[in-house]
A = this chain, B = another copy of it.
Amino acid sequence: MLNKLKSTFQLVLFSMIVLGLCTTVNAQSLEEIMKARGLTQQDMLAAAKTYTPTGKMDEYYCFSSGGQSGHVIAYGVPSMKLLKYIAVFSPEPWQGYGYGDVESEELLNQGRMRGRKITWGDTHHPALSETAGEYDGKYLFINDKANPRVAVIDLKTFSTIQIVPNPIMKSEHGSTFVTPNTEYILEATQYPAPFSNKYVSLDEFNEKYRGAMSFWKFDMKKGKIIVKDSFSVELPPYCQDLSDSGKKVSEGWVFTNSFNSERYVGGFGKGNTKWQDRLPFEAGASSKDTDYLHMINLKTAEKLFKDGKTTEINGHAVITMKTMVENNALFLIPEPKSPHGVMIDPSGQYITVSGKLDTHVSVYDFKKMMKLVESKKYEGKDPYNIPILSMKESLHGQVELGLGPLHTQYDKEKGIAYTSLFVDSAIAKWDYLNLKLLEKISIHYNVGHLVTAEGDTVSPDGKYMISLNKLSIDRFLPVGPLHPQNHQLIDISPGKPMQMLYDMPFPLGEPHYALLIKADKLKPIKRYKKKWFKNRVKPGREKVVKEGNQVTIHSSLIRSHYSPEIIEVNVGDEITWHITNLERAQDETHGFSVDLYNIHGSLEPGETCTFKFTADMEGVFPFYCTEFCSALHLEMMGYLLVKP
């Protein structure tokens, strides 16, 4: 009642003030605009918190996976303006990624699996490189759930620089996550499968299907995953899920949770196997009340790897469960069934797990877990002889938050966490030290993951939270049966109720997981340095060199012409076309395209690209600048003439 009176009072005052504003022309407009557009006082506060006028910069970058589009997405916060879809696993012509440019073709070829080029990915969980548990703004990592791979993105150029396929997994999910100094990038299996590439009957599921956690060694100086220094730990055929690395007190340990510790195999429907009459996987995989949180001693695993206590599978070093158990490096702890997410708090001591089918979140205490580990006090062992620690004795406590708790992020304020509630379509703010629910905010609709500013580092920023919603019915103008996703920006400033600020649709892809990093930590370059390119073409040195059927074109471009503009070759000639963009001016990108040859390049100032193709079609093929570069942009063209 008091609240109602208060808000009525505010409304009256606001109206009086807006009437007051009528005395000036612009102020009159404000009232008119608000009325015409149906905006409330609250809306104007939200507008003021997000509206970012021309030339003003955002405070944060948000990096989000692009889901099935195979991208990583960068956008600004609080404006929620999309800045770049970074091409990772899918070819992307605008970025000249995978359309004849040798460098990007080589990158996509790095991602080959079993010899095959895979031209898309299901990106899920981006990770930012960290130094001492803080984002350092240097590199970004991303996984491919469908075709188990991890990629490295350089934040100087916002482009992909490495793709590493996983040699033993057939599917993954708990990736990418990094250790506090980015020593390792974590990658955990999703659906168990044999490590080999052979057919193995589901009859042998328990014995021959496996999960794993891979540790990709990252060299911060080289900006590169060092494959030979990387290894995996064999895990039981439970579906490992999200993972996280310990920090501070828990540094040196990593965690992953799991579902289907039942080891159920589905079969629902009329297939062509003996499994066809079984209950669907979703039912069988959720029959027990608990699954297992996995606790892996990375320091020990690293030592075992360095000591050669590994088995080589598909050319990759794997530490068996047996070896891990013998060395007290692998433990399980029961957790509420079918969880999604294991999130270590900024202190490194508390670990939050939410069972999606439970209404509680569970807070584990790493110190309690370690006591059990050190005293070798086990409740039992799983079928693979892995010691099980007591859930009860590991828990700090549980809090009832609502339906479908899913993912947790942390606030600047000590002990404060936010957990997404998928089924409730809400986010709960709660105190994980004193174990109480504080506040809930509705979202629209069905939040999957959420992110707070630097919310998974050792020092979260608070201030902003984004809800990564799965459904967007009636939120935006309709675009047919395939809806955009909806990220909602929420103000989580201390001392005030949470406020919904902005709805942001995604025009492409289904983001799964996101990170928010302070903008001033990134130092992207504005142009490429000439010296980076061994094939760069100096102005005046353009030429065409022909040796047999090998034609090498050393070409430059600048507003508004290619040099040379006319090139004649014979059918069957193998073309190597080096092109250097001679521009120094920022943003003076030029494009390159040879009509009908499926070639497209994007050349940023200072950049050299090399295109290789065989001139296997006779004819006249215009090439031209595909980026509107100048008043005479349309005149920036030439002809490739292919003689019979």
Contacts and interface: CB of A to CB of B under 8 A. Distances in A.
A357 B631 contact: yes
Interface in A519-567: 519, 522, 524-528, 542-544, 546, 555-556, 560-567
A634 to B, nearest CB: 7
A214 B107 CA distance: 40
A270 B564 contact: yes
Contacts of A561: 266, 268, 280-282
Contacts of A146: 593, 595, 600, 624, 626
Interface residues of A, number: 204
A60 B629 CA distance: 29
Given A14-B24, A37-B49, A510-B94, A564 B622 contact: no
A58 B477 CA distance: 6
A27 to B, nearest CB: 6
A505 B82 contact: yes
Contacts of A634: 173, 190, 239, 241, 259, 338, 340
What is the copy number of this chain in the assembly?
Answer: 2
A223 interface: no
B199 A528 contact: no
B478 A524 contact: yes
Chain B CB within 10 Å — which of A51, A90, A120, A561 has the most? A51
Interface in A590-644: 591, 593, 595-596, 598, 600, 602, 604-607, 617-622, 624, 626-629, 631-632, 634-639, 641-644
A325 interface: no
A27 B18 CA distance: 11
13 contacts: A10-B25, A14-B24, A37-B52, A68-B93, A83-B476, A90-B92, A114-B617, A173-B634, A191-B624, A194-B620, A404-B631, A480-B524, A481-B586
Interface string A30-44: 100110011111111
A91 interface: yes
Interface stretch (A248-256, A393-401, A482-490): A482-490
A56 interface: yes
